[in-house]
């Protein structure tokens, strides 16, 4: 009987061992879950952590935005300074141009006035001689002599001013002559000047007045 009891106890022990092992495993798993729960925290704590994380992100975004705004403000200020400098330079240039324009107009007026003065200075003595000739009584020969002297004085004045008479003969040149009449005459060649009705003059390469001529066909 004792032997049987020993066997039964042995069997119970063998059967109990797995049961104890199973209970121990379940306890460990429960403890692990509780530990994990403690690590993760409560939903309220998780929400607080999430809010803090969101606030941190927003703070970083705000800092980044402030940096970008500061950079844009600096660039904007730099561009405004450049615009002010360009505007100032433009206004200075316009002022200089306006001064140059006024100075140029004044210089042109001065040149024209000086040129007229030079011409009149040479012509006025001729007018003086014509007035003297009219005030003096004399014969026709005396009058003719006075007119000839006046013409010579005119020619002298023209020489001083660089004025030249256009050639009264030769071939017709539309750049120098103005043909007011054409004539059929075998004594002359084609386009040859036959007669000069009014003398023409030039100064340097500029024609002051075209010669008024008769041209043979």
Contacts 24+ apart (CB under 8 A), 88-94: none
- Fold classification of 165-217 is Nucleotide Exchange Factor Grpe; Chain A, domain 2 (2.30.22)
Q: Assign 40 a pLDDT band (cuts: 50, 70, 90).
A: low
The answer, yes or no, to whether residue 10 has pLDDT greater than 50, is no
Mean pLDDT of 150-168: 88
Q: Higher confidence at residue 114 or residue 18?
A: 114
Residue 133: the pLDDT is 77
User: pLDDT digits over 41-81, tens only?
Assistant: 577 777 777 777 787 888 888 888 888 888 999 999 999 99
pLDDT digits (tens, 9 = 90+) for 76-107: 999 999 999 999 999 999 999 999 999 999 99
Q: List, by residue range, all CATH 3.90.20 domains of the chain.
A: 56-161
DSSP string, 114-181: HHHHHHHHHHHHHHHHHHHHHHS---HHHHHHHHHHHHHHHHHHHHHHTEEEPPSSSB--TTTEEEEE
Class of domain 56-161: alpha beta
How does the average pLDDT of the chain come out, rounded?
Answer: 79
CB 178 within 8 A of CB 210: yes
Q: 191: left (phi > 0), else alpha (psi -120 to 50), else beta?
A: left
Q: Between residues 67 and 20, which one has the greater pLDDT?
A: 67
pLDDT at 41: 59
Is 174 a residue whose pLDDT tops 60? yes
| pLDDT for 26 beyond 50 | no
Question: What was the pLDDT predicted at 119?
Answer: 86
Read off the pLDDT of each residue in 29-46 and give the average, rounded to a whole number: 55
CATH 2.30.22.10 domain residues, the chain: 165-217
Q: What are phi and psi of 211, to 5 degrees?
A: -75, 135
pLDDT in tens, 182-206: 998 888 888 899 999 999 999 888 9
């Amino acid at each position: 009987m004792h032997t049987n009891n020993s066997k039964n106890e042995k069997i119970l022990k063998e059967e109990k061992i797995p049961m104890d092992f199973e209970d121990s495993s379940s306890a460990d798993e429960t403890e692990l879950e509780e530990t994990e729960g403690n690590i993760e925290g409560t939903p309220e704590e998780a929400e607080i952590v999430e809010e803090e994380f969101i606030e941190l992100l927003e703070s970083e975004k705000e800092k980044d935005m402030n940096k970008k705004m500061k950079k844009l403000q600096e660039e904007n200020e730099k561009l405004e300074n450049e615009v002010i400098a360009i505007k100032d330079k433009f206004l200075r240039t316009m002022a200089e141009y306006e001064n140059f324009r006024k100075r140029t107009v004044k210089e042109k007026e001065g040149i024209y006035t000086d040129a007229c003065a030079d011409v009149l200075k040479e012509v006025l003595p001729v007018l003086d001689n014509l007035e003297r000739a009219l005030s003096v009584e004399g014969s026709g020969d005396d009058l003719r002599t006075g007119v000839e002297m006046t013409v010579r004085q005119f020619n002298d004045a023209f020489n001083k001013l660089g004025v030249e008479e256009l050639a009264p003969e030769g071939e017709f040149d539309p750049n120098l002559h103005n043909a007011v009449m054409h004539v059929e005459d075998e004594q002359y060649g084609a386009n040859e000047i036959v007669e000069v009705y009014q003398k023409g003059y030039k100064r340097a390469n500029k024609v002051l007045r075209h010669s008024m001529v008769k041209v043979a066909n």
